[in-house]
Amino acid sequence: MNQYPPVTVEVEIERLLPGGVGLAHAEGLTLFVSLVAPGDIVRVQIDRLKGKVAFASVLEVIKPSPVRVEPPCPYFGRCGGCDFQQLNYEAQLQAKVEIIRDCLHRIANIADLPEIAIRPSPKQWQYRTRANWQFDQQTRHLGYFEAGSHRVCDVEVCAVLAPNLQSALEDLRAQIRNDSIPIAAKNVEVVAGDEGVSMAPSWAGFETKSVSRRIGDETYHFGADAFFQVNHELLVPLIQEATRNARGAFAMDLYCGVGLFTVPLARCFQRIVGVESNPTSARFAQLNLQNAQLESARIITARVAEWLNGQSLEFEAVDFLLLDPPRAGAENSVIKGILARCPGQISYVSCDPATLARDLKKLLAAGYFLDSVAAFDMFPQTHHVETVVRLAT
């Protein structure tokens, strides 16, 4: 064994880990390698060393894995947006299931996991109806951050953008080239609805306006300044799984956003409370409930932890509780607040298997059991995956 690792080394990628990196071993080191496929034999360069763990990047694919494909995007490897384009679609789906299983087993200490089925996306490309673009005022580049940096990768065509967002990107780029817009925004949120494109901040002729989208039997209003899921093609089955068999007198929807789950739940419960800290999202949630003529629901604009801990424990029994927190997961105080109310059923919707597993460990230790796990490929060409876990007492 070498005392110091070589600058380059040849390795075989064993599997993909949470975060989308490949696992390999060489020279007494555990290597994490980006943008690889399981079964690849590659020559890698060690970029960073931390004890016996090395972070590496590919210099050469010596023998490609059977599941490796040629990434179609010319920005692949430089743009930080997509990190699974080197995998065929079946391999992407399999890797995501294994990432979920790894997190639930290793972090949540769940020994016997149920079968995890993953729902593929009807569209593997041109599915994103929401994007966050970066603008470099000096270089006048518009696109996404390069991987691991704050340099802006100047993107002309994004292969995962919905067509109307791609058109908006092209319009902005044309105006930037013609110097016909003031240098204003550094970060642009953009979302597509049935009425066109909403952009925040309003920029270059695009307004931060309300748009809507029909999802199943419901219509949702939202805008660029309020979060809404990026892949509308999977929202009907996602909602069905998250609210499956939900009936009763009272329900809670925590981190409710614009009411994606609140609206259908309001049809199944005598009363429901949705809690959302973003005032714009909360206003859209209230609007969506009003338009659906659902008067049994109440939207609270507050941080979830502060609201839960500010309520009396004599609050009526909670039959069903749904939470859909941001990528960082639920705060400790939120988990404690949930457990204090002993909901009969819990539906946890998550876009990060690691923080999901961390929170599940606490809920399971308090006496809940795992009823089901379902995955949805909301983010093709990336390692990200949406998971719905159902818990019962």
Instruction: Write the DSSP symbol of residue 341.
Output: H
Amino acid at 391: L
Beta carbons within 10 angstroms of residue 311's beta carbon:
14
Amino acid at 79: C
In sequence order, which ranges of the chain are alpha helices (DSSP H)? 89-106, 163-177, 235-242, 262-266, 279-291, 304-310, 332-341, 353-365
* Cα–Cα distance, 174 to 142 (Å, whole number): 11
Is the model's pLDDT at 3 over the cut of 50?
Answer: no
351 labelled catalytic: yes
**What are the residue ranges spanned by the domains of the chain?**
1-67, 93-123+232-392
175-198 pLDDT tens trace: 888 877 666 678 999 999 999 999
Model pTM?
Answer: 0.94
Phi, psi of 354 (to 5 degrees): -70, -50
Question: What pLDDT score does 312 carry?
Answer: 59
Is the model's pLDDT at 207 over the cut of 50?
Answer: yes
Q: What is the average per-residue pLDDT within 253-281? A: 97
Catalytic residue among 73, 82, 158, 351: 351
Give the closest residue to 217 by CA, choosing from 231, 235, 229: 235
Q: Kindly indicate the confidence band of residue 342, based on its pLDDT and cuts at 50, 70 and 90.
A: very high
Q: Write down the mean pLDDT value for the chain.
A: 94
137's tokens:
């005022």
Q: What is the average per-residue pLDDT within 326-338? A: 96
Question: What pLDDT score does 205 carry?
Answer: 84
State which fold the 1-67 domain adopts. Answer: OB fold (Dihydrolipoamide Acetyltransferase, E2P) (2.40.50)
Q: Kindly indicate the confidence band of residue 1, based on its pLDDT and cuts at 50, 70 and 90.
A: very low
70-80 pLDDT tens trace: 999 999 999 99
Phi, psi of 386 (to 5 degrees): -95, 135
* Cα–Cα distance, 258 to 351 (Å, whole number): 17
Question: What pLDDT score does 315 carry?
Answer: 63
The arrangement of secondary structure in 93-123+232-392, i.e. its CATH architecture, is 3-Layer(aba) Sandwich (3.40)
Question: What pLDDT score does 277 carry?
Answer: 97
* Cα–Cα distance, 231 to 233 (Å, whole number): 5
103-155 pLDDT tens trace: 999 999 998 898 999 999 999 999 999 999 999 988 999 999 998 899 999 99
